[in-house]
Amino acid sequence: MLIISKDKNSLNESQVTDENIYQQRRKVIKGLGFAGASSLLAATGVPLNAIAKNSQQKFKTTPLTFSQSNAAKVSDKLTPEHKVISHNNFYEFGSKKEQPAENSQAFKVDPWQLKVSGHVDKPFTLDYQQLFSLFTLEERIYRLRCVEAWSMVIPWLGFRLADLIKKAQPNSKAKYVKFKTLHDPKQMPGQANRYMGGGINYPYVEGLRLDEAMNDLTLLSVGLYGKTLPPQNGAPIRLVTPWKYGFKSIKSIVEIELVSSQPKTTWNKLAANEYGFYANVNPEVDHPRWSQASERRITSGGLFARNRIETQMFNGYGDEVAHLYKGMNLEKNF
């Protein structure tokens, strides 16, 4: 059944991004000195016209039944759907904002397997249909704050990660949760071509402390705007942690592992001084190359529409999550 969510931090439909900051972020990639895209694609055996073929197809989303949640309601205006599905960071399909939507339309999500393992008493694997049927789906409207200093307001559909973890029955050795994205270079051109894929060593890996994973706000999303996720947004299942920068919300997850030590995560390994493990939204801790004090909310205006707003600590979700970091130095543990 279909549920829609509203709480004191909930966002509504009136507010959505600085490309100059995005370009600065890409200096990390350029500094790695990768060869041109065409030569790398050829070397990996990926046809040079593969991306063009992908863009000619149209991935089909389907309506979902959901109920409404009272978790963290917000009053902000929703980002228009066409912005949410066309302005994406998903380097597996390309490092430019428009590439994920262009290059992912032939992506296959069914069959799919999500494995839950590690320090648990009851490991299990979910198939594609179970992603939508095992738990009641609800809609939660959350702010999404990118580390590049732009933001959106998105109506996600999904279920609490805590419910999935409880089903696996974690044991006393479980301290962290490690997530892994699908590794399939044939479908994901950014994985086949290191220049296009941002110089990342795939598969993409992210992690949370167990108490963060069990927080009520932490969502496994299978849809947005009432429909299944499009591939550029992380189909068929992705993580959503609204008080953290967007790169923590890993997409197209195939494995969730309960582990005893802090996992080595993708962006933290690539540039540890810029992308911390916690990645909590904090306007008082700047990125080394830009300020985090404000953000550009993507709205219905043009791509460069100026809609600058002040960034809130924990992205405005402090009442729900600040206790997780009591006594921690949030400048050191960024």
Q: pLDDT tens across 118-137, in order?
A: 999 999 999 999 999 999 99
- 330 domain residue, yes or no: no
Q: How many structural domains compose the chain?
A: 1
pLDDT of residue 40 exceeding 80, the answer is: no
Domain containing 283: what range?
A: 19-325
Q: Residue 31 CB: number of other CB atoms within 10 A?
A: 10
pLDDT band of 69, cuts 50, 70, 90: confident
Whether residue 177 has pLDDT greater than 50: yes
In a domain, 100, yes or no: yes
Amino acid at 242: P
- Model confidence at 73: pLDDT above 90: no
pLDDT above 60 for 265:
yes
- Quote the pTM value: 0.85
The answer to the question of residue 37 being in a domain is yes
Q: Is residue 298 part of a domain?
A: yes
Q: Assess whether pLDDT exceeds 50 at residue 2.
A: no
Mean pLDDT across the chain? 87
Are 203 and 123 contacting, i.e. CB atoms less than 8 angstroms apart? no
| Calpha distance 164→159 (Å, rounded) | 8
Residue 288 belongs to a domain:
yes
Q: Is residue 331 part of a domain?
A: no
Highest average pLDDT, of 60-74, 189-203, 208-222, comes from 208-222
Q: Is 154 domain-assigned? A: yes
The pLDDT assigned to 56 comes to 59
Residue entry with tokens 């306007």? 283
- CATH number at 199 reads 3.90.420.10
- Residue 57 domain-assigned (yes or no): yes
**Residue 185 near residue 47, CB atoms below 8 Å:** no
